[in-house]
Amino acid sequence: MKENKGRWIAAGVVAMVVGLATSYATAMVLTIRESPVVAVAELIIQITPGAIAERLIRLVGQLDKPLLILGILLFLLAMGAAAGVLSRRSTVKPLLIWLVLAALGSGAVLLQPGANVVDVLPVLVGFVTWVAVLPALTKPLLAERHHPELASRERRVFLMVAGALGVAAIGIAGAGRVLGRGRRHVAESRRLLRLDGVTRPMAPANTSIGLPGLFPWQTPNDDFYLIHTAIAVPTIEPKDWTLRIHGLVDRELTLTYNDLVERELTESWITLNCVSNEVGGDLVGNAWWSGIRIADILAEVGLDPSADCILQTSEDGWNCATPLSALTDDRDAMLAVAMNGKPLPIEHGFPVRTIVPGLYGYVSATKWVVDYEVTRFSGVSAFWTDRGWSEEGPVKIASRIDVPRSGADVSAGEVNVGGLAWAQHTGIASVEVAVDGGEWQPAELAQTPSIDTWVQWALTVQLEPGDHELRVRATDKDGLEQTGVRRDVLPDGATGWHTIQVSADD
C-alpha cells in the first residue's frame, strides 16, 4: 500500500504550530516582550543594510513588519513540514531541525538588549514541545505502515490527535495572550495617568488657510505617521521607567518618571519629519508636545567641553546619535511625556520619548528612551548611521501640493491650489507655484505660532482646457530657496520640487 506523504507533512506542521503556541504563551506569561519569532524579526531588521531596508519600506510601506513576521512563520511551517517528512525514515533528522531552529531563536533572543537566560525559556519550551508532539503524531502513521490491516483505525487516531493538538495550540496561545496582560496594564496606567500642567491643545487662530481638502494643520494622534524598528512595541510602566544620563559629564544622573514630571513643563507646536519622506510624501506631522527641556537637565550634569553628541538608546535597543548643540540651544528639544494634550500613545514612545525640532527622527526622536550617553560622534555607533545615513540629519526645506491631487480632473478656469511647507527651526518665508514651467506665482501663507511648525499655503491659478503640470517650491526665512534637484532620501533626506499633473475640462 502506497504511503500517504501528506499526513507526515501535516504531522510536522501541527507539531510546529503547537510548539510556536507554547513558546508564545510562555513569553506572554513571563511578560517577556520578545517572543522568539519577534526576536528573530528584530534581529533581521538590525542586520539588514540601510539601502535594502529603504527599498523594502518604499515597496510595501507600513506592511514591512507584518510581512516580515508572515515570512518567518511561513519559513517555520515549511521547516515543520520538512521535519514531518524526515520522520518517516529517521528520528534523528527531525531532531536536528528542531535543534537548529531552537539555536537560531535562542541566539536572536540573547542578542536583544538587556536579555538574560530567563528570556530563552520560551524557546526551550517550544523545542521540548516539538520533540514531544511530533512522535505522538507520527505514532499512528508508523503503526499504519507496519499493520496495513489497521490503516483505517490508525488514520482516525491520527486525525483525532492532530485535531486535538491544533485546538490545544489555539487555546494555549489564547490563554497566554490573556495571561500576558503587560500591554493592557500599561495601556490602563496610561489612561489613568494625570499630568499636571499639560494643557489641551487648541490650534492657534489663522493657522488654517481655509482651503477644503488640505491636510489639517494639527495632526491627530491616530493619524500621525509611525516609523520604528520594534516588532513588539515596548510596554513600560511609568513607575518602572528611568533615564540614565552618563558619559562625558561631571555628575551622572538617573531620573525616574516622577522626578521628570515634577520639573517645569514646556509645551510647543512641533512638526516632525521622517528622513524617509519622499518629495510630496506624508511621513510628516504636526502636534502639540508637552515635556521637559533637555537643555535644563543637561545643565545640571555638567558637560565636558569635548562632547559633541548624545547617544540615545531606546528600551528596545534602538539608538541614535544627536548633535549636542541641538539639545542645548534655544529650541524646545524635550523629553516629551504628552502628545496633543494626552499622555504619549504607547506606539509613540510612552511613557517618555525625545523630541528635537529641526532634526530628522533617525538622529533625534527616540521613542521609549531610557539612556543618554554624553559622548563624541567619533566614538559612537548608531543604528541608521551605521547603515549609510548621514551623521547629523538637519531637516531640509520642503513643500507639497495637497489640492488638487495628482491625476485629478478639474474645471478649466480658476483653480484653487494649496498644500503645506516646512523648514523646522528656520521657518517658511514664501511659497510659489509654477504652471507648465511658467513664471513662479506667490502663494498666500497661513500664520504659524513658531518656526518649528509647518505652514499651510494656497493660491488660485488659471488653467486652460487640457493637461497641465503644477510644481511648488518654498523659501525659508534665511533666504534659502528650495532646490529643484531631485535626490533620493538616502543619505540625508529627499530634495526636489513636488510636481503633479492635472486635467482641466470645459
The SS3 assignment for 17 reads helix
Look at residues 290, 293, 292, 294 and name the one whose alpha carbon lies nearest to residue 342: 290
pLDDT at position 363, please?
A: 96
pLDDT at 347 over 80: yes
Element (H, E) at 139: helix 121-146
Neighbouring C-alpha atoms within 13 Å toward the C-beta of 7: 23
Question: Per-residue pLDDT averaged across 393-410, rounded?
Answer: 96
Between the CA of residue 446 and those of 57, 177, 282, 287, 457, what are the distances in Å?
Answer: 33, 49, 20, 17, 6
Residue 253 forms beta bridges with which residues?
245
* Model confidence band, residue 167 (pLDDT cutoffs 50, 70, 90): low
What is the per-residue pLDDT for 1? 45
Q: Please, which residues have CB within 8 angstroms of residue 343's CB and are 6 or more apart in sequence?
A: 190, 193, 195, 337, 350, 351
pLDDT over threshold 70, residue 180: no
| Sequence-separated (6 or more) residues with CB below 8 Å from residue 78 | none
3-state class of 90 per DSSP? coil
Beta-bridge partners for 400: 420
Q: Cβ–Cβ contacts within 10 Å for residue 278, how many?
A: 16
**3 closest CA partner among 133, 154, 129:** 154
Give the C-alpha distances (Å, rounded to integers) separating 265 from 199, 398, 426. Answer: 10, 30, 23
**pLDDT at residue 30, rounded to an integer:** 67
Average confidence (pLDDT) over 43-48: 84
Report all structural domains of the chain as residue ranges with CATH numbers, in order of start: 5-180 (no CATH), 221-387 (3.90.420.10), 398-505 (2.60.40.650)
Residues 150-162 have a mean pLDDT of 59
Task: Kindly report, residue by residue over 490-501, the tens digit of the pLDDT.
Answer: 999 999 999 999
Cα–Cα distance, 445 to 211 (Å, whole number)? 12
Query: What does the pLDDT look like over 386-398, one tens digit per residue?
Result: 998 999 899 999 9
